[in-house]
Amino acid sequence: MNVIARGFSLATRAMGKVARLLPDGRHDPLSTRPGEIGRDVDRLDGPAKVSGGIRYTADHAPARLAYAVPVPSAVAKGRITAVDSSRALAAPGVVLVMTHENAPPMRPTGAYATLKGPVAAAAMSLPIMNTDRVFWHGQPVAVVVAETQEQAEHAARLVKVEYAPEPARLSMTDEAAYTPAHSVLEESKTVVGDVRAGLAGAAVTVRGVYTTPLEYHNALEPHATVAAWDGGDLTVHDTAQYPYGVKEMLAKKFGLPLSRVHVRAPYIGGGFGGKTPAWPHVALTVAAAALAGRPVKLALSRTHTFHMTGGRAPTRSSIALGADERGRLTAIVHDALSTCTTDEFAEAAIASSRHLYACPNIAAHQRVVRVDRIQNAFFRGPGVTPGSFALESAMDELAWELGLDPLDLRLRNEPGRDPVSGHRFTSRHLREAYALGAEAFRWSERAPAPRATRDGHWLVGQGMAAAVNPDTVLIAAVKLRLSADGTVTIHSSTNELGAGTSTAQTQAAAQRLGVPMHKIRFLHGDSDVAKTRIPGASAATTTLASAIWSARDELVRELLKLAEETPLAGRRVEEVETRDEGLFTRDGRGATYRRILEQAGRDHVEVTGKSALPYQTIKRATSTYGAHFAEVRVDADTGEVRVSRWVGAFDGGRIVSPKQAVSQMRGGIIQGIGMALMEETLFDERSGRIVNASLAEYHIPTHADVPDIEVRFVDLPDPQTPLGAKGIGELGIVGVAAAIANAIYHATGTRVRDLPITPDKLLQI
Amino acid sequence: MREFAYVRAADVSGAVRLAGPRARYLAGATNLFDLMREEVETPELVVDISRLPLSAVEDLPGGGLRLGALARNSQVAADDRVRRRYPVLARALLKGASPQLRNRATVGGNLLQRTRCRYFYDLGAPCNKRVPGAGCAALDGFNRAHAVLGASRSCVAVHPSDMCVALAALDATVNLTGRDGERSVPITDFHRLPGETPHQETVLREGELVTSVDLPPEQPGHGDYVKVRDRASYAFALVSVAASLRVENGRITRARVALGGVAPKPWRAYAAEQLLAGAAAGEAAFGRAAEEAVAGATPLEQNAFKVELARRLVRRTLIELAGRS
Amino acid sequence: MTGHIPLHLHVNGQAHDLSLDPRVSLLDCLREHLNLTGTKKGCDQGACGACTVLADGERINSCLTPAVQCDGMEIVTVEAMAGHELGGKVQEAFQAHDGFQCGYCTSGQICSIVAMLAEHHDGRPSAETRDLTAPAALTDAEIRERMAGNLCRCGAYNGIVAAVREVAGA
């Protein structure tokens, strides 16, 4: 069973509902048809974005707005013994100070990341600010509300909190590790065949330990919430990747019916998973607005985004690979360690090792340590991104041991079926991706030995890595409204993170309905439209396409009922096509939408469409695949690394909106460059403080760190998915760090197994 | 940010009169405003000097150049005379911060830039520089970015400036105006080592204002500023080197070597310069000088690499400069 | 002695007389007092460039600039770029080359580019400039170094550089 589908169906079952399934064998007719799909289109929100015209969350300023600033805890664990708000309250402009002593009750909810119901967006189940307990360093222990941002910021520093500290667990150690009941979307422990025998019988083995540090998303837009109560109604602008989940969470926390909570999140300034769960400040803003009796805005400072939202957990992977003399894998052992909190969110670093290569003997084991930290978060390719650094580095090491080209080694281990489940793939075109990428990169020209190419004081090397990331269709509904003038408006509760969802869906809907793009408006980010669970998982494109497909069928059904006076009278849904702005039979008889509505005397028709999980993707394995080819230059004296050339080739099914798909892959690769070379959260294990909670000291790539990146797509439709597409939002980052580490080895002869690969690690002292 | 009174100074003497013990001068604001927001700096009075007529770059009689204290980093780096006569300074400025910051940051402000040690910024962590006697969280904490030369048990923070490293190599002089009149201090004496008083970072007296920096006449030879950092741009130095070299008939007749990113102040490597003076220009001398430049280094748990990196960078820079001669 | 400070600002050609807490940054002045929310707060630390605006034609980080220091200055923000000859071209090139994803850093990138092209036109050097005594050609390496003060986490850098290339080459 598709791993992601299992994770989410678990969650769905917990709610007592079963996801709709598409009947076996129903292929999307659009998946192979030319049209708007696959065309290069400028972003539809482009004019607004380049002119400063989009209102992001923190840009909202309702009348009588007050400004809130949270106070972070100064200990990692313990109890609050006293809070003295008097100086803060006496400071100019201060409206109130909210602490656990006066905060309104907020009912605890389940933590979203555990994927155990209820599926609200809450990041944690902990009762923040309804308890005197401190669970991590930086936990909000008070919120100051003032007339201006400046006043609130200063007054927040005047709140004096005293603690009875307790010993905290802050380190990821083997002694405290255990096997979680579930890892995210993967089994925690997998044993296929006999790895001991596989290693014992191997002609060549490699072993290594690979680590990745705590990393933060650092979307350029910090998290923010603007909350306003109006009678019993609550309206919240929020930087939510999952607006419907925030609506559910707030309804539960504040005991409101769902219909009274309105979450608005049309545009998000980048998310990457960091805005999938609702961090404590969201509910605290709502609580502060209730206490203040006026709208409140809480925009986290960059520093507070490190303290009050979660990042990617650190990982340590021990890998052992065995291969026969011809380079066929005989064993894959992947023992991974990571961290979680009270809420068990175990990122599966083992994912690639379970799905990427044919191997008769696989043992993958994910363990976690509970630490006194803020909950770790989904982050572009959770688990698979750090884990693939380990596996794909080890594969490179194996290739050197075998004396094989690393691409050749991978081709020799390309599986025909999923190596763990034995399921067939709905489609897998990794071979084609390898070929596309290798050709564009001119991989065959690579020097066979390491440290063989020098350009002045730069050592030049090339490396590659493969990528796999799961694909799924999630739960969404859209409302589709056809107006008498022939225009179409599609309302959805998902949002535009910058992935290009609104443009891609407009393209797909245009072709689905046979309506030109300029007559379609895709509206997003209103939680009230319909239950929509697309928190991430690269699932927006296919999930929304599925819902719009279903809406199209509903629309045809409705229109046929209205079409008594047209040549369509008596036709069934299957007999008509949506094209040329109307419904037509294959023999060309039919009517335009405008005519059908006009003759029926209707101003509009509105229908709802719901996504459905294609049955075949449950029976089979559906994933996306990629191959990265990287060139680096390493300063032989200083250890500085510059990425000089890149080709990424990907199998993401049919590409709906290529211009934006290319951008999204580049974005993932660039985040991967950051992960490989510079990103590291300095977590002080003495105190639990994050030391470099700043964009000046947590380095992300600048313009100067990024070369031109060439992206190629196999662009073959998956026969089982809506539009023939597969979700690619996360795929780009997977494998990038390994490709760079492998290129650095080729350039220098030095293998670095601990990220990030900063200059000091290449000085060989 | 704590509340403060804001006044705009009309002239230098007025500014100096206004500035009492709880006052700070505000110029480009890029460092001070940030530190005030963090409440690391909490002045009661802010004297805005940004409109004082101190932004000119002027030739000095005898061939030197005077950089007004309020000359912007970008302005100085783009100045034709600086580019032609003091390329080491232009390069150092261009490798600092970002274009936007360089458009605001001034010569005087850069001299007074405070350390980027994150424990200094974090009010919750002990820091002797921020609160004398509180202790130092960096000694046994994250100290990869910290000093290997000139530090003490009280403080291991580094001075973050690029510009000052070049000024040190150029033998610049800092001109000051205070209540007791004017005086000049060599750049190499301007910053103090931490010792037991890391909160005292410079020799500035209360209310004293940096008015300009003088560069001595251009020296024949070649100079460069090289900087190693954790990303390609817009990052503080792990190690940087400002060096100049004059080679005549195969002999080194003049050498200047200063290091950044390794010490609590811009670090002049005098002993290395002495080794070089008169020596035959060649890898042997440059290697010895590089060793000497880091002699006595006392690395911490995470920053031993800086010693090796500085050694290599000094050596390579000298070799390259000799190659240009 | 603490109190509000009067100041006179020209923003996008419009004059404003304000009285501000001196703690207010130019960024918050634009966003919270003049309702010009196109300029974004990404870090409030001078570390990302999202808040870049033009002050008397120079690009600056508005987050680290006290508004009171801008008394009498001409401020130009992204909202005025459509009416700006170069700004309008940059906006069009951004769309043609997909120089943005989420759009949050875009205002700062565009303002920064407009100033950067002017700086280059004036012959100002960058850390990439080999020969400091001559004007530098605007190579990709020059563009990247000169734009390094504007971070983009979505990773639209290739599109941004392509947009600059197009506008600079025209």
Asked whether residue C1 carries a pLDDT value surpassing 50, the answer given is no
Average pLDDT on C7-13 reads 97
Chain B: closest CA distance from residue C101 (Å): 22
Whole-angstrom CA distances from A7 to A3, A70, A184, A186, A376 are: 6, 34, 7, 8, 18
Cβ of residue B324 closer than 8 Å to a chain C Cβ? no
Residue A22: its pLDDT value, please? 65
Contact call for residues A716 and A725 (beta carbons, < 8 A): no
Residue closest to A170 by CA, chosen among A244, A75, A250, A248: A75
Q: Is C94 on the interface with A (CB under 8 A)?
A: yes
Residue of B33, B100, B118 to mutate, testing the A interface (most A Cβ within 10 Å of its Cβ): B118
User: How far does CA A245 lie from the centroid of its chain?
Assistant: 15
The Cα–Cα gap between A235 and A252 comes to 15
* Alpha-carbon distance values, C74 to A437, B104, C13, C59, C149 (Å): 50, 15, 8, 12, 22
* Residue B217: exposure state from Cβ atoms within 10 A (0-12, 13-18, ≥19): exposed
Test mutation, A50, A149, A272, A458, chain C, max C CBs within 10 A: A50
CA distance A171 to A214: 12
Six-digit token string for A214: 């705590």
Give the whole-angstrom CA distance, residue B22 versus residue A340.
46
Chain B contacts of A307, Cβ < 8 Å? none
DSSP run (H or E) holding C121? helix C106-121
Residue A20's pLDDT is 62
Question: Given this model, what pLDDT does residue A23 score?
Answer: 55
* Residue stretches of chain A with pLDDT short of 70: 1-25, 115-119, 765
Closest CA to B226 of A182, A552, A640, A765: A640
**Predicted confidence (pLDDT) per residue in A2-24, tens digit:** 444 444 444 444 333 334 666 55
Pair of tokens at residue A170: 């802050």
Contacts of A292 (CB under 8 A, 6+ apart): A66, A95, A96, A145
State how far the Cα of A711 lies from the Cα of A650, in Å rounded to an integer.
8
CB contact under 8 A, C21 and A148: yes
CA A68 to chain centre: 28
How confident is the model at residue A15, as a pLDDT? Answer: 35
| Cα A632 from Cα A443, distance rounded (Å) | 14
To the nearest 10°, the Cα dihedral for A277, A279, A282, A284?
Answer: 150
Q: What is the model's pLDDT at position A185?
A: 80
CA distance A175 to A12: 35
- Inter-residue contact A675 to A385 (CB < 8 Å): yes
Query: What is the β-pairing status of strands A189-192 and A604-610?
Result: unpaired
And the tokens for B203?
């020799």
3-class state of residue A28 by DSSP = coil
Q: Which of A51, A498, A696 is facing C102, going by the closest CB pair?
A: A498
Structure tokens given for B195:
């010792």
Interface A-B, measured as beta-carbon pairs within 8 A, has a size of 87
- CA-wise closest residue to B153 among B139, B141, B165: B139
User: In the predicted model, what is the mean pLDDT of residues C145-154?
Assistant: 98
Strand partners, A491: A479, A523
Complete DSSP assignment for A64-98 = T-EEEEEEE-SSSSEEEEEEE-HHHHHSTTEEEEE
Query: 3-state SS string over A616-653?
Result: HHHHCEEEEEEEEEEEEEEECCCCCEEEEEEEEEEECE
Whole-number pLDDT of residue A7: 45
- Is A148 near chain C, with CB under 8 Å? yes
Distance separating alpha carbons of residues A202 and A401, to the nearest angstrom: 12
Tokens of A492: 């959805």
Which one, of A727, A718, A550, lies nearest residue A27 by Cα? A718
Nearest to residue A143, comparing CAs of A242, A222, A268, A227?
A: A227
Question: Left, alpha or beta for B20 (phi > 0: left; psi -120 to 50: alpha)?
Answer: beta
How far is it, in rounded angstroms, from Cα A74 to Cα A77? 9
Query: What is the mean predicted confidence (pLDDT) over C12-23?
Result: 98
Q: Could you confirm whether A162 is annotated as catalytic? A: no
What pLDDT is stored for residue A184 in this prediction? 82
**Tokens representing residue A344 in the block:** 């068990």
Rounded to whole angstroms, the Cα distance separating A727 from A473 reads 9
Report the length, in residues, of chain A.
Answer: 765
C157 reaches A (C-beta below 8 A): yes
- A685 to chain B, any CB pair closer than 8 A? The answer is no
The residues facing A470 across adjacent strands are A623
Q: Per-residue pLDDT tens for A284-293? A: 999 999 999 9
| Structural tokens at position A737 | 């760090």
How many other β-carbons are positioned within 10 Å of the β-carbon of residue B232?
A: 24
Cα separation values, A99 from A140, A142, A283, Å: 9, 4, 13
Across the interface, do C106 and A150 touch by the CB < 8 Å criterion? no
pLDDT of residue A112: 84
Report CB contact under 8 Å: C38, A664: no
Contact B118 A703 (CB under 8 A): no
Cα angle at A691 between A686 and A697, to 5 degrees? 155
Determine the residue of chain B that is closest to C150 in CA distance: B98
Contact partners, residue A140, CB within 8 Å, separation at least 6? A70, A71, A72, A73, A128, A129, A280, A281, A284, A308
pLDDT of chain B, 325 residues: tens digit per residue: 999 999 999 999 999 999 999 999 999 999 999 999 999 999 999 999 999 999 999 999 999 999 999 999 999 999 999 999 999 999 999 999 999 999 999 999 999 999 999 999 999 999 999 999 999 999 999 999 999 999 999 999 999 999 999 999 999 999 999 999 999 999 999 999 999 999 999 999 999 999 999 999 999 999 999 999 999 999 999 999 999 999 999 999 999 999 999 999 999 999 999 999 999 999 999 999 999 999 999 999 999 999 999 999 999 999 999 999 8
Pairing of strands B45-48, B57-59: unpaired
Closest CA to A533 of A241, A263, A122: A241
Residue in chain C closest to A306 (alpha carbons) equals: C43
ipTM: 0.98
Q: Count Cβ atoms below 10 Å from residue A627 Cβ, excluding itself.
A: 30
Between CA A254 and CA A380 the distance in angstroms is: 31
pTM for the structure as a whole = 0.97
In a mutational test of the B interface, the residue from A73, A307, A638 whose CB has the highest number of chain B CBs within 10 Å is A638
Asked whether the beta carbons of residue C60 and residue B104 sit closer than 8 angstroms, the reply is: yes
Specify whether the CB–CB gap between A350 and A368 falls below 8 A: no
Q: What is the DSSP letter of B228?
A: E
Burial category of A290 from C-beta neighbours within 10 Å (exposed 0-12, middle 13-18, buried 19 and up): middle
Residue B142 CA to residue A693 CA, distance in Å, equals 13
